[in-house]
Amino acid sequence: MKRRTLLAGLATLPIAGRAAVQTPPNGPWKLTPESDSLVPDAKLRDQIFKALDAAKNSGTDPAISHFPVRAATVFELDGAERTVLGGNTEYAIPEAIHGESSMLNHVTALYGPEVTRTKVRFVAFYTQKCGGSGSCGDCRDYQLAATDHENLLIACGQASDHTVRVTRFRDQLVFERDFPGIDAAKIPIEKSLLDQLVASARQAREGGVTLFTSSRHTAAAGVSFSGKIYRAAGADDAAFHYRYPIGGLLQLAATERDYFLRAIVVVGEKGQWPVVNYRDRQYGFEASTFNEKVGKPSAVLILSDGRGNFKMTTFAEALPRAFSTAQFMPQAVADFLASHAKND
Ligand SMILES: [Zn+2]
């Protein structure tokens, strides 16, 4: 994520340089009325409030965004309450260890993966002001894999007034099986172009690097509004820095200053719906917000099962409560797109 983003969203627009968090006003944390029903258990509520008090002191190093993401959880293990912190760290270009992933990794490091999966009931974020965003795509992938994601709660404690907004992590997920099915004839690109994209993606899937991926291998082909087709296949490596197909083709398009994608088709094993990781949806979402910035329609995300069946959605629908630079830095994105317009 990026900075703010990251934050899991909690944050509203962040102000660069605001590293210090104000001392919260005196008085207890209080759930917002709409959060009450999600936390009927008084003990769990108390643990959330304790986690927020602890998260206030989480160490962070947001050297680039200057936006701290302070996370914590509290759970009971062997008759004692445990508190575990997480904080974001940013480095280099920009990359970051995100607050919520950091916290969950700390739980695993201290108590093992089973405890992360079975005991962690919530991720609490301490922030000045809660925004509406969820985790970045990558943190969604991690929480999906590492936690009891169907029951995990996300709590945002707002330092400015000590209110706490609780939501379900599940609401940040949309499984591929739930993407709407669609007849090929209703997909808003010409049939011949759709066929071309499917064939291109299928051929791309013959490549890539699959030393660890095997059946999860996917490839994608996208067409820009200028009519060019870009494609990429997933590629794994020993460092586990997987390169995703949508991200790959978007990078190729961006390299040509072709920033506005019209449609992207993803394919997996023949006869199966491909998995589209949340991290890859994040790349697609960010790119699609460029479209909106210049008044073009959102990019559509099309899944092919290789047997003539399709599902279609948008990146905004596939990544609920997503964030992008277009939200955080609207003028910078507008200036960037204007200065990189392709006239040749
Ligand atoms: Zn993240």
Question: Distance from the CA of 161 to the center of ligand 1, in angstroms?
Answer: 25
Is a pLDDT exceeding 90 seen at residue 105?
A: yes
Q: How confident is the model at residue 344 (pLDDT cuts 50, 70, 90)?
A: low
Q: Look at residue 284 in the predicted model and tell me its pLDDT.
A: 98
Could you tell me the distance, in angstroms and rounded to a whole number, from the CA of residue 297 to the centre of ligand 1? Answer: 27
Tokens 């995703």: give the residue: 244
CA of 198 from ligand 1 middle (Å) equals 31
pLDDT-derived band of residue 202, with 50, 70 and 90 as boundaries? Answer: very high
Taking the centre of ligand 1 as the mean of its atom positions, its distance from the CA of residue 289, in whole angstroms, is 19
pLDDT of residue 276 exceeding 50, the answer is yes
How confident is the model at residue 214, as a pLDDT?
80
- Write b or e for each residue in 257-292: b if 16 or more Cβ atoms lie within 10 A of its Cβ, otherwise e: ebbbbbbbbbbbeeeebbbbbbbbbbbbbbbbbbbe
Span of 24-33, 152-161, 323-332 with lowest mean pLDDT? 24-33
Assess whether the previous peptide bond of 94 is cis (omega < 30° from 0).
yes
Annotate 198-227 with DSSP letters as a single string: HHHHHHHTTSSB-TTTGGG--EEEEEETTS
Task: Report CA(197)–ligand 1 centroid distance (Å).
Answer: 31
Per the structure block, which two tokens stand in for 216? 């999860």
* Gap from CA of 322 to ligand 1 centroid (Å): 11
Whole-number Å distance, alpha carbon 78 to ligand 1 midpoint, is: 30
For residue 48, pLDDT beyond 60: yes
Q: How many helices (H) and strands (E) does the chain have?
A: 12, 14
What confidence score (pLDDT) does residue 132 get? 86
For 320-329, the pLDDT digits (tens) are 999 999 998 9
Measured at the alpha carbon of residue 241, what is the angle toward residues 235 and 246, in degrees to the nearest 5? 50
- Return d(Cα 344, Cα 165) in angstroms, integer: 49
Distance in Å, CA 98 to ligand 1 centroid? 5
- For residue 206, the CA-to-ligand 1 centroid distance in Å is 31
Residue type, 82: R
What is the per-residue pLDDT for 167?
A: 97
pLDDT higher than threshold 80 for residue 15: no
Number of neighbouring beta carbons within 10 Å of residue 213: 15
The CA distance from 48 to 157, in Å, is 9
Would the pLDDT of 120 be above 50?
yes
CA 201 to ligand 1 center in whole angstroms = 28
Confidence check: pLDDT of 16 > 70:
no
pLDDT at 17 over 60: no
In the reported structure, the alpha carbon of residue 137 is separated from the centroid of ligand 1 by a whole-number distance in angstroms of 7
Which of 83, 31, 30 shows the shortest CA–CA distance to 57? Answer: 83
As a whole number of angstroms, the distance between CA 82 and CA 169 comes to: 21
Confidence grade of residue 20 (pLDDT, cut at 50, 70, 90): very low
Neighbours of 215 (CB within 10 A): 9
Confidence of residue 1 (pLDDT cuts 50, 70, 90): very low
List all residues 6 or more positions away from 71 whose beta carbon is below 8 Å from its beta carbon. 8, 55, 58, 85, 86, 87, 99, 100, 102, 103, 123, 124, 125, 126
- Average pLDDT value over all residues in the chain: 92
Work out whether the CA dihedral 108, 110, 116, 121 comes out positive or negative.
Answer: negative
Residue 83, classed as helix, strand or coil, is: strand
Task: From 240, 332, 326, 243, select the one nearest 287 (Cα to Cα).
Answer: 326
Alpha helices in 124-273 (DSSP H): 137-146, 191-204, 245-255
In angstroms, the Cα distances linking 138 to 28, 268, 283 are 33, 20, 10
Q: Give the mean model confidence (pLDDT) for residues 151-180.
A: 97
The DSSP H or E segment spanning 168 is: strand 163-168
Report how far Cα 42 is from the mean position of its chain's Cα atoms.
30
Q: How many CA atoms within 13 Å lie on the side-chain side of 313?
A: 21
For 173, 182, 303, the CA distances from 179, given in Å and listed in that order, are 11, 9, 9
How many whole angstroms separate alpha carbon 202 and alpha carbon 208? 11
CA 280 – ligand 1 centroid, Å: 13
Centre of ligand 1 from the C-alpha of residue 68, in Å: 12
Q: What is the pLDDT of residue 215?
A: 79
What is the percentage of the chain residues whose pLDDT exceeds 90?
88
**Cβ(259)–Cβ(340) under 8 Å?**
yes
